[in-house]
A and B are shown apart, each in its own frame.
Chain A
Amino acid sequence: MAILEVNNICKRFQDNEVLKGISFSLEEGQVLSIIGSSGSGKTTLLRCITGLETADSGSICVGGRMTFDSERREKLSKAEKRENQLCTGLVFQSFNLFPQYTVLRNVTLAKELLVKETCRAEKCDKKEKKARLAAIEDEAKRVIESVGLSDKLASYPCELSGGQQQRVAIARALMLSPKVLCFDEPTSALDPEITGEVLAVIRKLAEEGRTMLIVTHEMGFAREVSNEVIFMHDGVIGEQGSPEELFDRPQSTRLKEFLSAALHA
């Protein structure tokens, strides 16, 4: 069974129909890239999948868990909502790190809050709590090391370059081990010279078998890292297939035009 199933998602803002029935699925350990021109609804789709936006109709299933279903009538409890939220992770175009915290704290904060809550619920003693928090810190250090920022643990976001900030953001998302990790143009806010370091981290994650959904304008990267590519146009999936199929043998004129524009940009 697919780890992510998106069924017939529609979303409109007032009378602007942004998503007009999007369906696709993603297998565990695969990387799916979404390309498409500006305004085609890529960001909106990611936001619906990650729960930042509520779709008007359709359903989303992550790891067998219905995280969104427009047919659902009963109200979700807070715990269920959070459980749904934690199924997916999102890396923003603009990083959105917490400026007042160090790199380490940015990465540990959310998990720490979670663990503190479970400790309270389970009424575990101080020693147990301390051990769990220490484990989080160790884990965070490992994750930060994996994005190559071990020497920046105590730095604040304002002291880092854009590329470094984005790598912290990736570590922060990884820390909660989402079943599907989504990226919304992770390198668009970066200078061309430093996109490489972020792409290298994502490439490594792909090799480790992370399930990822990547919206990107980097055609070369999409081609190299993805198992499958979706071309979105005007709120629908224009074409879908392997990178070779889409990039070497585009069928529609729209995709051909888009690719040649991207090539000459």
Chain B
Amino acid sequence: MFWTVTQSLLKGFGTTVEIFGLTLLLALPLGLLLSFGSMSRFRVLKWLVKTFIWIIRGTPLMLQLIIIYYGPGLVGTWAQGLEQSNFLVDWLASWSVFDRFVAVIVAFVINYSCYFSEIYRGGIESISRGQYEAGQVLGMTRTQVFFKVVLLQVVKRIVPPMSNEIITLVKDTSLARIIAVYEIIWAGQSFIKSAGLLWPLFYTGVFYLAFNGLLTVLFGRIEKKLNYFRG
């Protein structure tokens, strides 16, 4: 039995890791873009991005997940019932529900991009103006200053908050269960109904712990590697 359960949980865990990996892959760069937007000199852009971040950070991920999964379908049905017909209405009418997994990825990427962008912003803004100015008087371009001077210092500063956020992401993947994506919690839970067993659900904790333990070690290494300088 133990082996069957483990196999089943591993399958669910595969999905968990997929959600985790894809979200990270997309949200890390997207967050950087958002952070540039939130620091932009163009007021309108800055205001728009900041409002967006405020909304996403101010509402539960679970709610966002539900809205993104069911929202488009509702809009589509509503538009189909409209009397008039024009380009916009037709387009809206073509909306339908996302694939479950796609909905999860979209919601997670949006949510985590916003959290990451705030971490990036904090890191970038914490670098003293003197670093930029030193680069400038040495004739470096803005891009060179960012990539050659500022970036590594930002990375060093954001590793601790980032590792926190990323470990939270591992645990947040369990929210995918709310729109019936077969991840590890769902896998564990299914044994209650099918075999009357509760322990597989407890057993899922081991997987989370192992994965987060691995991440903790990894981030510890990165932190240590960047310890050679202060700043």
Contact = CB atoms under 8 A, between A and B. Distances in A.
Interface of A: 50-52, 78, 82, 85-86, 88-90, 92, 94, 96-100, 109-110, 113-114, 156-158, 172-173, 176
A50 B141 contact: no
A156 B134 contact: no
Interface of B: 128, 130-131, 133-141, 144, 148-149, 152-153, 156, 228-231
B178 to A, nearest CB: 43
A100 B139 contact: no
9 nearest A-B pairs in the assembled complex, by CB-CB distance: A99-B231, A110-B138, A96-B134, A96-B130, A158-B230, A90-B137, A86-B139, A99-B229, A100-B229
Contact of A110 (B128, B131, B139, B231): B139
Contact of B153 (A52, A92, A100, A173): A100
Given A99-B231, A156-B229, A176 B138 contact: yes
A194 to B, nearest CB: 19
Contacts of B137: 50-52, 85, 88-90, 173
B139 A98 contact: no
B53 to A, nearest CB: 29
A52 B133 contact: yes
Contact of A78 (B134, B141, B149): B141
17 contacts: A51-B136, A52-B137, A78-B141, A82-B141, A92-B130, A92-B133, A92-B134, A96-B130, A99-B229, A99-B230, A100-B153, A100-B156, A100-B231, A114-B139, A157-B229, A158-B229, A172-B138
Contacts of A172: 138
B143 to A, nearest CB: 10
Contacts of B156: 100
Contacts of A82: 139, 141
A37 B135 CA distance: 28
A13 to B, nearest CB: 15
A157 B141 CA distance: 23
Given A92-B130, A156-B229, A158-B231, A98 B140 contact: no
Contacts of A78: 141
Contacts of A158: 229-231
Given A99-B231, A110-B139, 7 more contacts: A86-B139, A90-B137, A96-B130, A99-B153, A113-B140, A158-B230, A176-B139
Given A85-B136, A157-B229, A98 B141 contact: no
Nearest to A88: B137
A94 B144 CA distance: 22
A78 B128 CA distance: 24
A97 B135 CA distance: 9
Contacts of A50: 137
Contacts of B130: 92, 94, 96
A29 to B, nearest CB: 22
A193 B229 CA distance: 26
A51 B152 CA distance: 26
B134 A109 contact: no
Contacts of A92: 130, 133-134
A100 B138 contact: no
A172 B135 CA distance: 11
B136 to A, nearest CB: 7
